[in-house]
Structure 1
């Protein structure tokens, strides 16, 4: 969300009108207080506008998400520190619920920053906050682009180099290790919410707008973006930080292949795709599930909702899955004709093993961050 958009959405740079000697550009006051937000509460951004008492000047818009829109800005000359430094500013929507969510995100980010004073755990840094015309604003360090844009630009349909994936995976598991230590769940890990630096060597987990304390275990079938949503969320099983491990597994697969692992159109189809890859859920997990009877009948058959080819209407078909019908290894290992070196073959085999452990259907048996950090793939022992 804080990344520079690519392609057609590339932000337009604002030409500087003032001479270099000018200490502070003229304050833009084009908008009135009444028009500062659109009907949905998003701030109406003006390129060149100054924020926080002329501390920052906006030079591009980076788009908007559910909670906020994000701009890029530069610090201005004066008493506020380094002039010309770029930052990303998340401007929270002007709604009471969004404002409270912004305060909660600020609290979590400050807690993470305090626990990582040397900035070694790969979570985006919140620098400060301020309010502007009724909007809470969060100021972040500026990074380059998100991993979805990286894959589109450098690995469209083919994915990234396995060594790049390993480097990114290592950094992401460091981020998860800090989250787990502080009992925080991110709850929206996906390529869009992972930023890289200009050199593409460093990644940072961002957008903690959905994050919460692990004790706040509110059952909802729509937590996390669908393609990265763990099975326990869909089934309504009490969840914990293991849901982030599932999302990381889906993300790493996508980085390496350039393709989405579980492209389900609904929660129902997501569960079917998961079982095709990992086999059936154990009966104990289904019994614990709040929504278990929505998806499984009394005989344990999965109630698959499918489109009738003739009428186009939804029809329910009972499916009994025992063994997986898809295979990670078959999907990730290159053809024999590729003639990989032994070390590369070992590395990919080790990567498949790590993914398999991240994508364990039972969250209690899923690999933990500290275990992942000692995995041969991450340690480079593959």
Structure 2
């Protein structure tokens, strides 16, 4: 384990901690150059640092700022938003006439439209009865200020609702590729609960959903009374090892073995005369491509439904980003799906892959080939 000189915790300001995951120098995931822009791209250290004082695992240092390209919201993300809002409604938090504010992110459509349709009123410049954070928190470099802002946005008796991918999921499933530039905080439930309590809030309820391996929706308020199920979720994350620096270092081993296995598989596919492409130029795909050292000789193209990304290339490599139609026209033998939760959706919307005899391959985080007879 290595300490990061000069690092201060983004939440508690502590200066003692350990680097638990080091992916070396990588390009910024959100700077996707146009296809004809020459290499090399600027690269930056990509490391996860765990604070010894408060336990927050966080981005050690960031890349230079760039404009994030908005993607097309996947069906699975939209459906999860519907489930989360239905849960908040069942908890009595979606009330006609009540005020709502949002801290959003580029990882999906705003919830305000759905909540407005339910009769809630957007709190323009006022405190709100319900403050929702849809993957927004991790995008703030100053986590203490971010939590302070969310607390200050709450009306008396108000509730903060946060949807996030927790460190418990990242660690238990060895999802090392969830570390990337611009994502500053990797909260576990117990660590976030402790941080919220420093701001006068606490986790009141929490629910786990299967999206991205394990997405958490939680509510927090000024009088938290967690039920047995919520306390169980918090304890489960502790059991996984989110408070244990040694356990967190297992992410490093997973990164090395998964990257080597992916590259080895791609080499063997090329030697067997099979062409491999990929689908999903998402943020989590960039650490995978970079850490495995991939180029267009191993991965021919990456298909993506976002017009903003088409015609560009993957950061740090010459792999072009193409439309789904262009992906099908290239007639790949295998298509690596960087986002396994999209499997059902892309098999429906891009049927030409299997119709031409190709196969989808999930990176989950190990490789798994999908056979058409199992799902079609």
Give TM-score, length-normalised by structure 2.
Answer: 0.23
**Higher relative contact order (CA closer than 8 Å, sequence separation 6+):** 2
Greater percentage in strand: 2
Give TM-score, length-normalised by structure 1.
Answer: 0.23
Larger radius of gyration: 1
